[in-house]
C-alpha cells in the first residue's frame, strides 16, 4: 500500500469519527423512503419508467436557534445501457445499472438571527410560493423539475439565501439566488408535449436537428436572481404580494441555422437557445366562503424582448434570412382560481381554473385549463380512491370539438399499514388539434408504485 492510499484512508477514517461525533451531538435524525415506480404503455406493453429510489433525509435541531436539513436521492433507472462486451466488464457496473444521485436540499436555518423576528435559511433549498395547488404562477425562484411530466409542480433545489422578518401579522421575505439553475424537461418522448407543431418550408427535408443552450454568464448581473414577498391576513383572508427578478427557467430558441446538405432541399438545423430575463409581479389569496376553501393567484410577467434570427449557411458564411420576435416584451398575465370542499359523505373535490400552464409564455400563447380531482378514503383511511382526476384544456372555445385536450389520472392507493403505500393508476390522454395532451395521446400508460417510509 503506498503512502497516498494510507493518507486517504486516514482522512476518511478521521472524517467518519468527526461526523459521527457531530451527529451524536446534534441529535441527527435520519428518515426517508424507498420507492419503486414502474410504468407500462397500453398500446405496445413497453416499459416507459422503471425507477427504484432511496430517498434520505437528514435533519437536526440541536437548539431552538438553529436547524439543518438535507435530502438526497439515490436512483436506479432500471434500463441497462449495454452496447458492447467491454461495457459489461466495467467495475463501476454503470452500464448494467444506470443510476443517478440527486442532491435536492441542504440548508441551515438560523432562527431569531440578530433580531427576535428574523429567521434566515442558507443553502440549497426548494422555495414554494403561491396558494394554488401545483400550478403557481408566482413561484419562480426554485427551478421546475419536469423530468416526470405527470408530477408537475415538482421543483429542484436552488442555492439561495432567504430571510423572513415577522412583524405582527405581516411577514416580509427576501430571497437571493446567486447562480441561475435551469429547469429539467420531460424524460424521453414526453418532451414533445411541450413542443408545438411547426411547419417546414415547402420542398425542404430536415435530416438532423441539433440544439445548443447558452447559459447566462456567471457574473452577478447575468446569473443572479432576487425576490421579495409581503404576506399578511386581512378580513380572515391570507394575502401576499411578490416580486421576482431573474430568468425564465425554460429555454427559448433565439437562433436557427439551416445547413443545406444537398441540392434536393435536405438540410441540417442547428437551434440556439437562451433563458430570457423576466420580472414577475404576483399576488395571491386564500380563505373560505361558507365552508368552501377558495384560493387565487396571479402573476404579471414582464419579459425582455427576444428576437429569433434565422440564418442559412452558404459557402460565404451565414446569411440572415429572417428576423422575427421569439418573445415579445408585452406583459402577460397567468392566473389560477381554485376551490375545495368535502361533502358530508366524505368525498373531497378540488378544482382549479388555470390560465397559462407552467411552460407557456407570451400573451398569445397562454391556454386555459381546468383541473379537477375527486377523492375519498375508505376503511379507516386504508384505501384512497381517485376515480376522477385530471386536466382538460380548451384551445379554442369557439370550436371545442377540434381544439381540446384531456389528461386523466384515476388512481387507487392502498395503505396496508403505517409507512407503506401501494399505488395503482393510469395516465390517459386524448385530444384534437395541437395541444399539450393531444401531442402525447398515443402514450397512455398504467403504473404501479410501492413506497415504504422509515
Partner 1 sequence: MKTITSTFALILIFALNAFAQDAQSIITKSDSVINAPKDQHQFSRMILIDKDGDEKVRKSEMYQKGDEMRLVRFLSPADQKGIGFLSLPDDVMYLYLPAFHKIRRIASHVKNENFAGTDFSYDDMSSFKYAEEYNAKLLETKDDVYVLELTPKPDIEKDYSKLIIEVRKNNYYPIKIDHYDKGGNLWKVLERRKIEGKGNYWISMEMEMKDLKKNHSTKMITDKIELDNGLSDKVFSKRNLKKVK
State in angstroms the smallest separation of the CB of 298 from partner 1: 17
State in angstroms the smallest separation of the CB of 176 from partner 1: 18
User: Of the two residues 142 and 393, which places its CB atom closer to partner 1 in the complex?
Assistant: 142
State in angstroms the smallest separation of the CB of 249 from partner 1: 17
Retrieve residue 174's grid coordinates. Answer: 427576501
* Sites of contact with partner 1 (CB under 8 A): 31-33, 59, 61, 67, 69, 109, 111, 119, 126-128, 131, 155, 164, 166, 171, 236, 238, 286-288, 291-295, 340-342, 344, 346, 380-381, 417-419, 421, 453-454
User: Of the two residues 41 and 134, which places its CB atom closer to partner 1 in the complex?
Assistant: 134
User: Of the two residues 224 and 288, which places its CB atom closer to partner 1 in the complex?
Assistant: 288
User: Of the two residues 266 and 350, which places its CB atom closer to partner 1 in the complex?
Assistant: 350
User: Of the two residues 375 and 445, which places its CB atom closer to partner 1 in the complex?
Assistant: 375
State in angstroms the smallest separation of the CB of 232 from partner 1: 11
Distance from chain centroid for Cα 96: 28
State in angstroms the smallest separation of the CB of 182 from partner 1: 20
User: Of the two residues 421 and 432, which places its CB atom closer to partner 1 in the complex?
Assistant: 421
State in angstroms the smallest separation of the CB of 148 from partner 1: 15
User: Of the two residues 89 and 344, which places its CB atom closer to partner 1 in the complex?
Assistant: 344
State in angstroms the smallest separation of the CB of 341 from partner 1: 5
Amino acid at each position: 500500500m503506498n503512502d497516498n492510499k494510507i493518507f486517504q484512508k486516514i482522512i476518511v477514517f478521521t472524517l467518519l469519527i468527526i461526523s459521527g461525533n457531530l451527529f451524536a451531538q446534534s441529535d441527527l435524525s435520519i428518515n426517508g423512503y424507498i420507492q419503486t415506480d414502474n410504468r407500462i404503455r397500453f398500446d405496445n406493453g413497453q416499459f416507459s419508467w422503471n425507477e427504484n429510489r432511496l430517498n434520505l433525509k437528514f435533519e437536526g435541531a440541536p437548539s431552538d436557534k438553529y436547524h439543518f436539513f438535507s435530502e438526497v436521492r439515490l436512483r436506479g433507472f432500471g434500463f441497462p445501457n449495454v452496447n458492447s462486451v467491454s461495457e459489461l466488464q466495467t467495475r463501476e457496473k454503470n452500464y448494467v445499472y444506470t443510476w443517478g444521485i440527486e442532491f435536492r436540499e441542504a440548508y441551515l436555518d438560523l432562527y431569531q438571527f440578530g433580531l427576535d423576528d428574523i429567521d434566515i435559511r442558507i443553502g440549497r433549498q426548494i422555495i414554494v410560493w403561491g396558494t394554488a395547488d401545483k400550478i403557481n404562477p408566482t413561484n419562480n425562484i426554485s427551478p421546475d423539475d419536469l423530468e416526470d411530466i405527470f408530477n408537475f409542480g415538482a421543483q429542484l433545489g436552488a442555492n439561495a439565501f432567504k430571510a423572513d422578518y415577522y412583524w405582527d401579522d405581516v411577514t416580509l421575505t427576501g430571497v437571493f439566488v446567486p447562480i441561475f439553475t435551469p429547469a429539467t424537461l420531460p424524460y424521453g418522448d414526453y418532451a414533445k408535449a411541450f413542443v408545438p407543431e411547426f411547419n417546414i418550408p415547402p420542398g425542404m427535408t430536415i435530416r438532423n436537428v441539433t440544439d445548443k443552450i447558452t447559459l447566462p454568464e456567471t457574473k452577478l448581473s447575468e446569473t443572479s436572481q432576487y425576490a421579495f414577498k409581503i404576506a399578511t391576513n386581512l378580513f380572515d383572508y391570507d394575502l401576499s404580494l411578490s416580486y421576482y427578478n431573474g430568468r425564465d427557467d425554460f429555454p427559448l430558441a433565439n437562433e436557427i441555422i439551416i445547413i443545406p446538405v444537398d441540392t434536393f432541399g435536405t438540410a441540417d438545423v442547428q437551434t440556439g437557445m437562451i433563458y430570457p430575463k423576466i420580472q414577475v409581479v404576483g399576488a395571491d389569496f386564500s380563505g373560505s366562503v361558507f365552508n368552501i376553501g377558495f384560493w387565487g393567484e396571479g402573476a404579471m410577467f414582464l419579459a425582455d424582448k427576444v428576437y429569433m434570427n434565422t440564418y442559412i449557411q452558404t459557402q460565404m458564411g451565414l446569411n440572415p434570412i429572417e428576423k422575427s420576435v421569439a418573445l415579445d416584451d408585452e406583459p402577460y398575465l397567468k392566473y389560477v382560481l381554485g376551490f375545495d370542499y368535502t361533502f358530508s359523505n366524505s368525498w373531497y373535490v378540488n378544482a382549479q381554473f388555470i390560465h397559462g400552464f407552467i411552460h407557456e409564455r407570451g400573451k398569445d400563447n397562454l391556454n386555459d385549463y381546468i383541473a379537477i380531482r375527486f377523492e375519498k378514503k375508505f376503511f379507516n383511511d386504508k384505501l384512497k380512491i381517485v376515480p376522477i382526476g385530471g386536466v382538460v384544456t380548451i384551445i379554442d372555445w369557439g370550436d371545442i370539438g377540434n381544439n381540446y385536450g384531456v389528461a386523466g389520472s384515476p388512481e387507487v392507493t392502498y395503505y396496508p399499514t403505517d409507512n407503506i403505500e401501494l399505488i395503482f393508476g393510469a395516465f390517459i390522454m386524448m385530444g384534437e388539434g395541437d395541444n399539450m395532451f393531444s401531442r402525447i395521446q398515443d402514450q397512455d400508460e398504467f403504473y404501479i408504485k410501492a413506497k415504504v417510509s422509515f
